[in-house]
Amino acid sequence: MTRILVTGGAGFIGSRVVHAALARGWDVRVLDALRVDVHPQAPVLADAVEFVRADVRDREAMEDALAGVDVVCHQAAKVGLGVDFDDAPDYSEVNVVGTAVVLAAMRARRVGRLVLASSMVVYGEGAYHLPGASTAVRPAPRLIRDLEAGVFDPRDPATGAVLVPGSIDETGATDPRNVYALTKLAQEHLAASWVRETGGSAALLRYHNVYGAGMPRDTPYAGVAAIFRSALARGEAPRVFEDGRQRRDFIHVDDVAAANLAAAEWTAAVGATARPFNIATGRVTTVHGLASALADAMHGPDPVVTGEYRAGDVRHITASADRAHRELGWRAEVDLGAGLAGFAAEHTG
């Protein structure tokens, strides 16, 4: 029987990984600090779960929690883009130092398999090309004067031409553009260093926009799906920034949990490697499309496109999930319409 340690296993994604692992018949241990900013109410864990309340930065607790473990699923992290740069120390401490402690404890305990919750944010902007061409172009940072004029798509740094978005794969360049993104890329680099030193195996799962039951709501760190749902629950129209045509890939949390189990099994079958995988549906949804679908599901007012912008926001980021399908044997299965209906019902039911 596989014994898995899920750090952050009481959280939004971690709890679904735990549920999926139990359903698979695995032996599950959870380590979670139960931070009050993440868990205002104490979560309920299945009786079959062995629970350790500790911070991932606690080396002694981590080593104790790793006793007899086959694979670590490292979900514990401070997520979201933060409020301002004052959040940087906490993000760095929890995400970077915490991951370093997890990996050092794994080395000490000789646990050689890791699944890391990374993120699409390591890419920065997604893939782009010039109109009528296929060669990839890295976009220039968006200019305030363009944003103020309603020109939201990035430009080619050489010609100034407005670029056409495409789908990025794992060979795409990384370009983290905020503190959270920097910490996620640092986690990947730490995992790769651990692999080189120990001969372990690590699956680096670059989650795209995850939604579903249990998603954090009404916090500065909530995702756009939760923000729209909360507005609709108040009887308000969702407010959509820019022109609403921002492209994203929204993936259900149960699909993400299934990807984690597939990745955990993959780590048992490969040699020393740290391999990134896009965890996405491969389908494009605009932000306005998401808001409209949620409004329909909740019988609420249509979204309002405000034209507002945040200078640091990414315009388009969608992905190919072909590598995950080919190498992990995993593919997203939850239809967006059905997933959003359930997501809406959680708030209204």
In a domain, 65, yes or no: yes
Residues 1-11 have a mean pLDDT of: 95
- The question of whether 123 is a catalytic residue gets the answer no
> Does 232 map to a domain?
no
Establish if 200 belongs to a structural domain: yes
Cα(181)–Cα(77) distance, integer angstroms: 12
| pLDDT tens-digit series, residues 265-322 | 999 999 999 999 999 999 999 999 999 999 999 999 999 999 999 877 899 999 999 9
What is the pTM assigned to this prediction? 0.95
Domain, as residue range, for 93: 3-126+166-215+250-283+319-335
Q: Is residue 299, in this structure, part of any structural domain at all?
A: no
C-alpha distances (whole Å) from 218 to each of 221, 223, 227, 232, 245 are: 8, 9, 7, 12, 24
- The C-alpha atoms of residue 94 and residue 82 are separated, in whole angstroms, by 13
- Least Cα distance to 172 among 306, 60, 317 occurs for 317
Structural domain contains residue 271: yes
Count of domains forming the chain = 1
Q: Please state, in angstroms and rounded to a whole number, the distance separating the CA atoms of residues 226 and 340.
A: 11
* 70 within 8 A of 4, measured Cβ to Cβ: yes
Residue 244 placed within a domain? no
Q: What is the pLDDT of residues 245-256, one digit of tens each?
A: 999 999 999 999
Query: At 279, which CATH number?
Result: 3.40.50.720
Instruction: List pLDDT tens digits, range 142-178.
Output: 999 999 999 999 999 999 999 999 999 999 999 998 8
Q: Is residue 68 part of a domain?
A: yes
CB 281 within 8 A of CB 243: no
Annotated active-site residue in 91, 123, 128, 180: 180
Residue 303's contacts (CB-CB under 8 Å, 6 or more residues apart) are 228, 237, 238, 239, 240, 244, 288, 291, 292, 295
